[in-house]
Amino acid sequence: MFDRSVVAASKTVMVALIAVMLGSTLAGVFFRYFLNDAISWSEEAARFSMIWVAVLGGGLTFRAGGHVAVDMFVRKLPQRFAWAGTTVIALASAAFILTFTWYGATMVERVWMQRSAALEMSMAVPYAALPVGGALMLYHLAASLLEARASKTTASVGTAEFSQL
């Protein structure tokens, strides 16, 4: 129930952000080329929306196993040892995501007082996509591992397939 709510909320936020991105881009083009009067905020709103969509979408893609992977070595392992290879991949992924999240949070702290040029919002808003997205990626990694463990079947997690955990 909670898991479905997290996924649904992520998708809803992504759809809203894509609408903002599309709307601000179209408004910018319309004002610039048809009214001959450029608006300053449209490009910045589209860029910040795209950052959030990319990071939130990365978490959902991670959950679906849609990221590019080189799993040749794991596939070469005997079936009974496949869990070891996939566990190493999961731990490496978690280490990267934790680093990504930590440095993202550090950046949010550093740019808290800085304002964006056109929208004049705190630059912490676009930078907050990094720790929020990282936390969601960690959540999706853990949820996928738990699903694979519970079902004892092949489940795709990030860039690895977890079989017979």
24 sits in which H/E element: helix 2-29
Amino acid at 153: T
pTM (2 decimals)?
0.83
Instruction: Tell me how far the alpha carbon of residue 139 is from its chain's centroid.
Output: 11
- Residue numbers of the chain with a pLDDT score lower than 70: 69-70, 151-165
Structure confidence by residue, pLDDT tens digits, 22-32: 999 999 999 99
Rg (CA), the chain: 20
Please give the pLDDT value at position 163. 46
Average pLDDT, the chain: 87
Please give the pLDDT value at position 73. 73
